[in-house]
A and B are shown apart, each in its own frame.
Chain A
């Protein structure tokens, strides 16, 4: 069983997931404040690892060298800043640019981690549930195209295997020209095959009344009251964060002069809202796990 299936957040209505990820990624992209990036990173790593298990840890570990590379590379191209640490190729390598690099690299990796979580949570059918009703025809088209790709890959393998068994196809010692010519053969066969399949699929769609009426869209999930509560909580939090950003509470300049707004006083509430918002999936996950333990002990 995949980890995602244990995840309470993934079980919520797709609108909840979609709103969350738009918030996490959209708001995150607007904030370059180190503390906010750190907070976002913390929750992204936790949730990503909860979803992906040990494989998730590996991805996180792999992102560390990327982070370091980006951090140290920034001062090589950005020479602004006041505190010069050293000179590389005769150009200044500044403290401000280094910190700036750290912030950009951190933000990028955090966004990528959130995107990874999005992929695990928002499967294609959830996307369809959400948008199938709004644009039924286009979303159907999209879905069919997405289905076509893995089908094609399978067929290429089948064609290549079949050709190998009659001694055709690119042999191990074939020249580049032979290989290229053979790929052309396989490609043309693939096209014929796909076209033929397409004709049948079109017939099958026609046979089931495609295009006779305005399409409706079947949705597997209903919105529950808990989903509505969650959505409202998220909306309030998001509004608070947007207000904070608009008010300059998350402003951070690095070069040429470093100016980072301190997180104190009135800004503290905004920061808390940001943390609570991002922690929602993790909190739900843990709450569900604890609840499950308790209810299971009663079985």
Chain B
């Protein structure tokens, strides 16, 4: 028996003047299934998920019907909806209601009016299952993003739902916390048999485990199949969604291979080994040139030491680096290692107690703040929302520069012209990122600092974003970015540095940097390192595959 039956569902928002956000969507979701819903931002994924839990469904015009356990879902009482259908949202912070971890776990049970004995047992059980015992008594304010999201999941699971709906649950988390979270979701699916419906940008981690993938575009279902077949389908359709597929899939079809498509790094390795049983003839691509020395570096950091309070531990412990003018310089490293702190130190929000920072050869403290932040240095913060203070994107941009032509020009560069009259909070994550970038660019910086610019944006927006960055680079802007996104850094950065233990440990070109790492590297490299050397992006692997196939033929 199907758990959910979606029959010819269509929906348009009350404010959308009849434009359909969902257009005759029909499919079933089986009991115990792990279903991935994918599609670009704004393709109707969230709208569909909210229809599956009517208390969250927005106002609008609805057609078709949804059956839950063979009965119309609208007839389900609010109590049953709460208890049977769990829903985890994107933002870890705002979902939390109370101030203590234990209280948050009990929140749903309190709402349902459970008695003390049941609550005690369920809360204890959940805390153990999710490994929360160690921070059970803590204030929620002191938790990390990953812990907060795990708490949100646990507090929903405490109500023992039959279905778990997750709307981009890991978009605000770093990769390690994200894969922990997704593993927990998978464990719930496997061990408890809970039906899981999830949307995600990071398909790499969940695609291999999913039973089925449904792809949406402009409110319609364009593909509905097992994950292994989805890649082929999208590739044949030349669908832009193909760029979001896991690396092994992209390499496989990109290289024009035939047969069973690999989904995981392990399968990718086997496939490459079988294709080249005697090893590859051309092992690596031509050596990339070091970025030419361009005289004065844009940014020099020398032995920076910093701590937040007098007797707290050092966050920066002798950070030194030199960023050549006109390059895209990426700093990667674990969570809480001090990467963002370093960017804030460059901007003067944090003041190192020892060490020197020079911007374009001049010590940063010699600049007046009006000089430093106009036509010189600017930073895009991690949360783009912290830059918006007005009611429309246009007003926000005009705050920076009254010149209408210049605003228009930058809006075109950042590809946000159609969004200029929207409220900044109505934009999607990727759109907000670009609008914020536009605002930052209006200060005409020569040195641009980016804090996690690809966090929470999907693969298409990433490509657009990379396009904007390369255009800036062409104009001579130096970009320093801090990121968890190794795939992005491998593909677009000129130099990559590893931040660890409060220092910058190694710096190299992406190919050499990721080529010599074996854990902290891209999926393409992990998949191909036994055959090729220093192939770090899917494009690298495809190029080498092509070269070697020709040699074989």
Contact of B111 among A151, A159, A171, A210 (CB under 8 A): A210
Q: Are the CB atoms of B97 and A201 closer together than 8 Å?
A: yes
Q: Which residue of B lies closest to A172 (CB)?
A: B369
Contacts of B388 in A (CB 8 A): 189, 192
Q: Are the CB atoms of A150 and B373 closer together than 8 Å?
A: no
Contacts of A166 in B (CB 8 A): 373, 378-379, 387, 400, 439-440, 443
Q: Are the CB atoms of A136 and B383 closer together than 8 Å?
A: no
Q: Which residue of A lies closest to B79 (CB)?
A: A212
Is B155's CB within 8 Å of the partner chain A?
yes
A215 and B373 in contact (CB under 8 A), knowing A147-B99, A158-B386? Answer: no
Q: Are the CB atoms of A193 and B369 closer together than 8 Å?
A: no
How many A residues face the partner with a CB closer than 8 A?
Answer: 54
Contact of A207 among B56, B387, B389, B443 (CB under 8 A): B56
Q: Which residue of B lies closest to A220 (CB)?
A: B102
Is B123's CB within 8 Å of the partner chain A?
yes
Within 8 A of B (CB), among A131-151: 136, 140, 143-144, 146-147, 150-151
A218 and B119 in contact (CB under 8 A), knowing A136-B110, A163-B387, A207-B53? Answer: yes
Per-residue interface assignment for chain B, residues 356 to 395, with 1 indicating a CB less than 8 Å from any chain A CB and 0 otherwise: 0000000000000110111001110101011111100000
Contacts of A261 in B (CB 8 A): none
A218 and B97 in contact (CB under 8 A), knowing A162-B387, A212-B79? Answer: no
Is A86's CB within 8 Å of the partner chain B?
no
Please indicate which of the listed interface residues B55, B81, B374 has the most CB atoms of chain A within 10 Å of its own CB: B55
Q: Are the CB atoms of B110 and A216 closer together than 8 Å?
A: yes
Q: Are the CB atoms of A215 and B111 closer together than 8 Å?
A: yes
A171 and B387 in contact (CB under 8 A), knowing A213-B112, A218-B110? Answer: no
A208 and B379 in contact (CB under 8 A), knowing A166-B440, A219-B116? Answer: no
Is B270's CB within 8 Å of the partner chain A?
no
Q: How many angstroms between the C-alpha atoms of A297 and B159 in the bound complex?
A: 45
Q: Are the CB atoms of B379 and A165 closer together than 8 Å?
A: yes
Per-residue interface assignment for chain A, residues 171 to 199, with 1 indicating a CB less than 8 Å from any chain B CB and 0 otherwise: 11100000000000110110011001110
Per-residue interface assignment for chain B, residues 46 to 88, with 1 indicating a CB less than 8 Å from any chain A CB and 0 otherwise: 0000000101100000000000000000000111011100110
Contacts of A68 in B (CB 8 A): none
Is A203's CB within 8 Å of the partner chain B?
yes
Q: Are the CB atoms of B83 and A165 closer together than 8 Å?
A: no
Q: From residue B398, how far is it (CB to closest CB) to chain A in Å?
A: 12
Contacts of B381 in A (CB 8 A): 158, 161-162, 165
Q: Which residue of A lies closest to B371 (CB)?
A: A167
Is B109's CB within 8 Å of the partner chain A?
yes
Is A125's CB within 8 Å of the partner chain B?
yes
Contacts of B449 in A (CB 8 A): 165
Is A128's CB within 8 Å of the partner chain B?
yes
Q: From residue B416, how far is it (CB to closest CB) to chain A in Å?
A: 16
Q: From residue A122, how far is it (CB to closest CB) to chain B in Å?
A: 14
Q: From residue B152, how far is it (CB to closest CB) to chain A in Å?
A: 8
Contacts of A173 in B (CB 8 A): 370
A200 and B106 in contact (CB under 8 A), knowing A166-B400, A209-B82, A212-B111? Answer: no
Is B486's CB within 8 Å of the partner chain A?
no
Is B273's CB within 8 Å of the partner chain A?
no
Contact of B373 among A128, A167, A201 (CB under 8 A): A167
Q: How many angstroms between the C-alpha atoms of A298 and B119 in the bound complex?
A: 37
Contacts of A196 in B (CB 8 A): 94, 425
Q: Which residue of A lies closest to B441 (CB)?
A: A166
Q: How many angstroms between the C-alpha atoms of A193 and B369 in the bound complex?
A: 27
Is A59's CB within 8 Å of the partner chain B?
no
A204 and B103 in contact (CB under 8 A), knowing A161-B344, A168-B399, A171-B370? Answer: no
Contacts of B152 in A (CB 8 A): 204
Q: From residue A253, how far is it (CB to closest CB) to chain B in Å?
A: 47
Q: From residue A243, how far is it (CB to closest CB) to chain B in Å?
A: 37
Contacts of A220 in B (CB 8 A): 102
Q: Which residue of B lies closest to A206 (CB)?
A: B55
Contacts of A210 in B (CB 8 A): 111
Q: How many angstroms between the C-alpha atoms of A203 and B141 in the bound complex?
A: 20
Q: Are the CB atoms of B156 and A208 closer together than 8 Å?
A: yes
Q: From residue A40, how far is it (CB to closest CB) to chain B in Å?
A: 32
Beyond A200-B94, A215-B113, 19 additional contacts (C-beta under 8 Å) are: A125-B102, A144-B98, A147-B98, A164-B348, A165-B377, A167-B374, A189-B388, A200-B89, A201-B94, A204-B97, A205-B111, A206-B56, A207-B86, A208-B107, A209-B82, A209-B108, A209-B112, A212-B112, A218-B119
Q: Enumerate 27 A-B pairs (CB-CB under 8 Å) in ascending A order.
A: A140-B97, A150-B141, A158-B386, A159-B386, A161-B344, A166-B439, A167-B374, A171-B369, A189-B386, A189-B389, A200-B91, A201-B95, A201-B96, A201-B97, A204-B89, A204-B96, A205-B97, A207-B53, A208-B108, A208-B156, A213-B112, A215-B110, A215-B111, A216-B119, A218-B109, A218-B116, A218-B119
A-B interface, 4 closest residue pairs, ranked by CB to CB distance from nearest: A209-B82, A167-B373, A218-B106, A165-B379
Residues on B facing A (Cβ under 8 Å): 53, 55-56, 77-79, 81-83, 86-87, 89, 91, 93-100, 102-103, 106-116, 119-120, 123, 141, 152, 155-156, 159, 344, 347-349, 369-370, 372-374, 377-379, 381, 383, 385-390, 399-400, 425, 439-440, 443, 449
